[in-house]
Each structure stands twice: as C-alpha cells, then as structure tokens.
Amino acid sequence: MSGENIREMRRLKMTTQLLAIIRYELLWNVRKKKLLGAIAAAFIITTLTLALPVIFGSVYNRPIKSDPNYVISNSGSGSLILFLFALVTTMNSISGEFESGTIIPLLAKPISRTLILTGKIIAAIFTVLAAYSLLYAYLVIGGIILYGPQDNLNLIPLCMLGDMLSTTVWMSIILATGALSKNTTLTTVIGVITFLAANIGTSIISFFTEGAWILHYFPGNGATGYIKTLGIIRSLNLSTGTDNIAKIIIQYMLNPSAYVTYVKIEMGGTQVSPPIFRELYSEPLSLVLFRALVVAATYITALLLLAWYAFKKTQVLE
C-alpha cells in the first residue's frame, strides 16, 4: 500500500472516530435537562426583550411605532445567556466522565485523547449554535410581527458567530477547569465566580477608575465606553469585552468609522451636585473589534491547550 493510501486510510479512520465521539457527546447534550432549562431561560429573556416595549406602550397608552432596527439593535445575547449555554454544555463533559467512571471504557477504546476532546468541543459548539439559531429565528420572527419589516437582517449570521465566539471563551474556561479539577461542583463554582467577577466587578471598575483599559483584556464585559460618530457622543454605550463581540460586530458594520470614548464617573462633592462624566480617551471601533477578537481567540487557544494537556496527562486512578 502506498504512503498516500495509508495517509488516506488514517484520515478516514480519524474522521469516523471523530464523528463517533461527536455523536456520543451530542446525544448527551440534547438529553440534558439543564440544557432545556437554559434554552427555556433564553427564550423567556428574548420574549421579554420583544414584549416589554409593547406591554409598557399599552400600559401608558403609547402605541409602539414600527422600528426597522429593533431586531438588529437588540441582537447579541446577554452575558447570562452566553454563560449559561457554555456552562450546561461543558460543565461535566470531562469532569462528569471521571466522576461517574464512564471515562474508563471510553479511554480504553482505540481513539486518541486529543480526538475525544476535539469531539466534545465540536459537539458543544454544534449544540449551542443550534440553540442560537432557534433563538435568533424567534427574535427575527417576533420582531417582524411586533415592529414591522426589519433592516440589516443580513447581519444576523455574523451576530450568531459573534455570540458563538463569546460562548466559546466561557466554554474554554469551564473545560480547562473541568480537565484540571475533574470535579463538576468545583468547576461550576469556579465558573460562576469568574462570571460574576467578570461582569459585575468589571462594570464597577470600568466607571469609577482610570485603569479600566486593563479590562479590555479580561473575559466577560470588559470596559464600557460610548459610541462617537463625527465627534458626537451617541447615547449608545458599548462594552468592549469578549461577551460583547456580536454587539461590537453590529456597531462596526453599521458605523465603520465610529470611535469609542471611555469616561470616568466622578461623584460630586456634595449630595446635590450631579456626578461628572470625565472623558478619558477615545479609540476607533475597528480597534475595539480587532482587540476583542484577538483577546477571545487568545483565551480560547490558551485554555483549550491547557484542557488538552491536563486531559492527555491524566491517569485514571479510580
């Protein structure tokens, strides 16, 4: 058999094995009650996003006007949805196998650990992409029904990819923790603490210190600034972290020459004097997008490499 044939056969074998592990993991993911719970939560949040203006409009007797940008301006999932999807698909995909002992027959099969981990990651990404597809379809249909024909719907696939990238950052954090600890409870606790720190903590730091630039390099919300077009600050604020890639992509596609201006809130000396917004610096939106993509890619690569190394070197003691 020639060298090429051997390589072809090896490729075919690897593909078959990869498909097997993806199937193994997908069947697990779709049968998880936690995933159904997360999807239900995401649908409730999306329903509120769609319905609240209608409800308030009817309460205050102000009928809603048609808004062709409603869907696109509400696209980009919130941090909680991103984190929940990442958590339910990956929290026990490594640690759970070790805890239940199902890893033993799996690792005794003629399939490399690298392929097992790759299959698990791909299955998690497929699962989350499917969930986002349902969510965005719901948002678009709901938006058209409630707010009339919508513009810029061609940006929705990009938006989904952005959300997927943001979710993958959280998945990488959780997978690496799971591979190192082999303990689902510990993985979940560390994941939740990191999420809270990266979202609540950063929002406070971002507004009240001048050192908020460092938050551009943390996962989560990052620093918060305001979109500035032709020298005018628009009321729209924008977070620069890895959780907001979809929103940054949309803003960049709609206003490629826009700038993001960062401010510091200085409280007034007395109770009556209002807080002062002091401008710190501005930077092009293109740079914000580029940096968010690079930071996300760096986290994903580094954490998945860490997960791979820990998984590859692990011995099955129990």
Partner 1 sequence: MSLAIETIDLTKRYGNIVAVNKLNIRVKSGTIHGFLGPNGAGKTTTIKILVGLLRPDGGRVIVLGEEIRESGPKVQSRIGYMPELPRFPKHLKGWELLDIYGQMYCIPSQERKSRIRRLLEIVGLKGRENDFIGEYSKGMQQRLGIAQALLSEPDLVILDEPSIGLDPVGMVDVREIIKDIARKGVTVFISSHLLSEVEQTCTHVSIINRGVCLAEGPLGDIIGKIAGSSVLEIEVAEGLDKIINIVRDLPFVSAVQVEGSRLIIESHVREDIRPKISRAITEAGGTIIYMNMRMKRLEEAFIRLIRGEDR
Smallest distance, Å, CB 188 to partner 1? Answer: 19
The contacts found for 144-149 with CB under 8 angstroms, 24 or more apart, are 144/71, 146/50, 146/51, 146/54, 146/64, 146/70, 147/64, 147/66, 147/67, 147/68, 147/70, 147/71, 148/66, 148/67, 148/68, 149/66, 149/68
Nearer to partner 1, 159 or 179 (CB): 179
Residue 31 binds partner 1, judged by CB under 8 A: yes
Nearer to partner 1, 6 or 316 (CB): 316
Q: Is residue 163 packed enough to be buried (19+ CB in 10 Å), middle (13-18) or exposed (0-12)?
A: buried
Residue 265 binds partner 1, judged by CB under 8 A: no
Smallest distance, Å, CB 312 to partner 1? Answer: 9
Residue 16 binds partner 1, judged by CB under 8 A: yes
Smallest distance, Å, CB 108 to partner 1? Answer: 4
Residue 32 binds partner 1, judged by CB under 8 A: yes
In whole angstroms, what is the distance from residue 138 CA to residue 8 CA? 43
Candidates 66, 69, 112, 301: give the one binding partner 1 (CB under 8 A).
112
Candidates 28, 132, 147, 226: give the one binding partner 1 (CB under 8 A).
28
Residue 24 binds partner 1, judged by CB under 8 A: yes
Helices (H), 31-91: 33-59, 70-73, 79-90
In whole angstroms, what is the distance from residue 192 CA to residue 189 CA? 5
Q: Please give the residue ranges that form the binding site for partner 1 (CB under 8 A).
A: 13, 16-17, 19-21, 23-24, 27-28, 31-32, 100-102, 104-105, 107-113, 315-317
